[in-house]
Amino acid sequence: MPEALLTDASRRLEQAAHYAPISEDATERLKFPKASLKVAIPVRMDDGSLRVFEGYRVRYDDTRGPTKGGIRFHPSVSLDEVQSLAFWMTFKCAAVNLPFGGAKGGITLNPKELSKFELERLSRGYIDAIAPFIGPDLDIPAPVVYTNSMIMGWMMDQYSIIQGRRSPAVITGKPVSMGGSLGRGTATGTGAFYVIETMMKKLGQSPAEQTVAVQGFGNAGSVVARLLFEAGYKVVAVSDSKGGIYNSSGLKIPDIQQFKQTHHQMKAVYCQDSVCSITPHETLTNEALLELDVDILIPAALENQITEKNAHAIQAKTIFEVANGPVSADADKILEAKGTRLFPDILVNAGGVMVSHFDWVQNRSGLYWSLKKVEDELRSRITSEAATIYDLAQKHTVSFRTAAYIHALSRLGEALNDRGTKDYYIS
Ligand code: NAD
């Protein structure tokens, strides 16, 4: 899996390199992570026993600024996976013009097996182990799979204890009470909505005509589904890990969101309880949701959901990748041949890291923004990058994914060249 991720990312990079002004030196430099750290984290468990966990932090490239990327707590975490995701973050930050390079971190574990106290000790132990490797001007972690603002708060506190001074800018996505930004929790879904708005306008299509299916009704997917519903799109299907619901006349997304917040699952939504009466629907599997005949499909759950196995069956005209890597490189080719428009993750879900940037800026300036200012800045910046990527795709007659990589690679290539070039040594 991790190798597949890196292979997919490298293939996309090669396609883009054909169109971007990038030197051989810069391409060679981008093949290797700048620094990788593997640590052992001993944790005293609640029953008195000692367990040692393995953790990683990779700083892929820092040419455009301190490195930035989330920390995953997951059984699949390995050095290969973390390196691949750090590589991906390098392109995402460049694609939306953040003054950051790419990084990623993680600990190999099933976090659901640990008590809250054990999780806190593990989180603080991880920071003890990686403290010299991170910092507000060096490398700035954030929450991602199975980590959240509470864990970021513990980590920021531990880093501050080690430094002997409060250091909120070392980590983004922490609680607002500890210096986190307003709007960070909903930033990915909100940013994705702004990208969809921009692209649908460019394509000359109005919301009322569009049917939408959303796979994954979590943090990112539920926010984008609600914003689309409020803007007049007809969201006909949503799902979570337990299954999905469908209504050809459109689902009442705010009711589902409220129900899920109360019951923490959608299972009850589609079979037993009161929302069944508020939202009439049929049930469907996640596989069937992906293959629905809708205008817009939004994978917002996991990697590799659309592969060469099911790409032929996808009927949606347009796909917006809210999840990271939901469509494999092989599936890309099949979809492109069918004429499916696909807007890539490194643009569509970049709202999260953009508001993380605002979080860091606010910590460093000491001046905190209103939610309106956060959302206005996010809208103006992500809309402008989306429009540029749309125009690049038209100019080079390439997919929107290749256009996003061209955009990122042009910025990275320029910075890498300006840093130093072998041309100095050629007389
Ligand atoms: P989340 O855990 O809040 O939500 C994930 C949702 O997907 C849950 O509702 C879960 O039940 C559902 N799910 C899991 N397996 C599924 C399956 N097989 N079919 C359908 N649904 C399934 O996570 P999130 O923060 O919303 O992240 C979702 C995706 O977006 C991930 O790929 C993540 O990397 C990406 N992303 C998130 C952020 C962010 O800021 N939250 C930023 C960038 C990218």
> For 337-349, what is each residue's pLDDT tens digit?
999 999 999 999 9
Mean of all residue pLDDT scores within the chain = 91
pLDDT at 279 over 80: no
Q: Which SS3 state, helix, strand or coil, does residue 175 take?
A: coil
Is the torsion defined by CA of 344, 349, 355, 361 positive or negative?
Answer: negative
| Nearest-5° Cα angle at 116, 113 to 118 | 70
Report the separation in Å between the CA atom of 395 and the middle of ligand 1, taken as the mean of its atom positions: 33
β-pairing verdict for 341-343 and 318-320: parallel
CA dist 365 and 368 (Å) reads: 8
Q: What are the pLDDT digits (tens) for 93-128?
A: 999 999 999 999 999 999 999 999 999 999 999 999
Q: Residue 5: pLDDT band by 50, 70, 90 thresholds?
A: low
Strand partners, 105: 57, 71
pLDDT at 270 over 70: no
pLDDT at 221: 96
Strand partners, 426: none
Report the separation in Å between the CA atom of 24 and the middle of ligand 1, taken as the mean of its atom positions: 37
pLDDT at 1 over 60: no
Residues with CB under 6 A from ligand 1: 144, 188, 215-221, 239-241, 286, 300-302, 322-324, 349, 352
Helix residue ranges per DSSP H, 66-148: 79-95, 116-130
Report the separation in Å between the CA atom of 218 and the middle of ligand 1, taken as the mean of its atom positions: 5
CA dist 328 and 218 (Å) reads: 22
Q: Atom 30 of ligand 1 has which residue's CA nearest to it?
A: 323
Cβ atoms of 229 and 309 within 8 Å: the answer is no
CA dist 399 and 329 (Å) reads: 12
Q: Atom 2 of ligand 1 has which residue's CA nearest to it?
A: 218
Name the catalytic one among 104, 174, 234, 260.
104
β-pairing verdict for 50-61 and 35-44: antiparallel
Q: Atom 42 of ligand 1 has which residue's CA nearest to it?
A: 352
Q: DSSP letters of 275-344?
A: HHHHS--EEE-HHHHHT---SEEEE-S-S-SB-TTTGGG---SEEE--SSS-B-HHHHHHHHHHT-EEE-
Strand partners, 243: 240
Q: Which residues contact 276 (CB under 8 A, 6 or more apart)?
A: 269, 270
* % of residues, the chain, pLDDT over 90: 77
**Residue type at 202 in one-letter notation:** K
pLDDT at 53: 98
In this structure, what token pair is assigned to residue 414?
A: 């320029």
Give which of 147, 141, 9, 142 is closest to 85, Cα–Cα. 9
Q: What is the mean pLDDT of residues 172-197?
A: 97
Q: Residue 282: pLDDT band by 50, 70, 90 thresholds?
A: confident
pLDDT at 12 over 90: no
Cα 100 to the chain's mean position, in Å? 15
Q: Which residues contact 28 (CB under 8 A, 6 or more apart)?
A: none
Q: Residue 70: pLDDT band by 50, 70, 90 thresholds?
A: very high
pLDDT at 273 over 50: no
Q: Residue 264: pLDDT band by 50, 70, 90 thresholds?
A: low
Q: Which residues contact 29 (CB under 8 A, 6 or more apart)?
A: 61, 416
Of the given ranges (35-39, 146-150, 380-384), which has the lowest mean pLDDT?
146-150
Q: Which residues contact 293 (CB under 8 A, 6 or more apart)?
A: 315, 316
Cβ atoms of 180 and 173 within 8 Å: the answer is yes
pLDDT at 216 over 80: yes
pTM beyond cutoff 0.95: no
pLDDT at 215: 96
Q: Which residue has the higher pLDDT, 18 or 403?
A: 403
Q: What is the mean pLDDT of residues 196-204?
A: 96
- Which residue is it, tokens 């973050």? 89
Report the separation in Å between the CA atom of 220 and the middle of ligand 1, taken as the mean of its atom positions: 7
CA dist 335 and 347 (Å) reads: 19
Q: Which SS3 state, helix, strand or coil, does residue 146 take?
A: coil
**Residue type at 276 in one-letter notation:** C
DSSP state at residue 135 = B
Q: Atom 22 of ligand 1 has which residue's CA nearest to it?
A: 241
The answer to whether residue 38 is catalytic is no
Atom of ligand 1 nearest to the CA of 326: 32
Q: What are the pLDDT digits (tens) for 47-60?
A: 999 999 999 999 99
Q: What are the pLDDT digits (tens) for 285-316?
A: 989 999 999 999 999 998 899 999 999 999 99
Strand partners, 244: 239, 284
Of the given ranges (2-16, 84-98, 320-334, 406-420), which has the lowest mean pLDDT?
2-16
Q: What is the mean pLDDT of residues 395-416?
A: 93
Atom of ligand 1 nearest to the CA of 286: 19
| Residue from 246, 266, 324, 348 to probe ligand 1 pocket by mutation (most atoms less than 8 Å from CB) | 324
Cβ atoms of 142 and 171 within 8 Å: the answer is yes
pLDDT at 8 over 80: no
In this structure, what token pair is assigned to residue 204?
A: 């000359």
Give which of 120, 106, 119, 118 is closest to 75, Cα–Cα. 106
pLDDT at 272: 45
Q: What are the pLDDT digits (tens) for 358-377?
A: 999 999 999 999 999 999 99
Atom of ligand 1 nearest to the CA of 301: 7
CA dist 343 and 198 (Å) reads: 11
Report the separation in Å between the CA atom of 418 and the middle of ligand 1, taken as the mean of its atom positions: 38
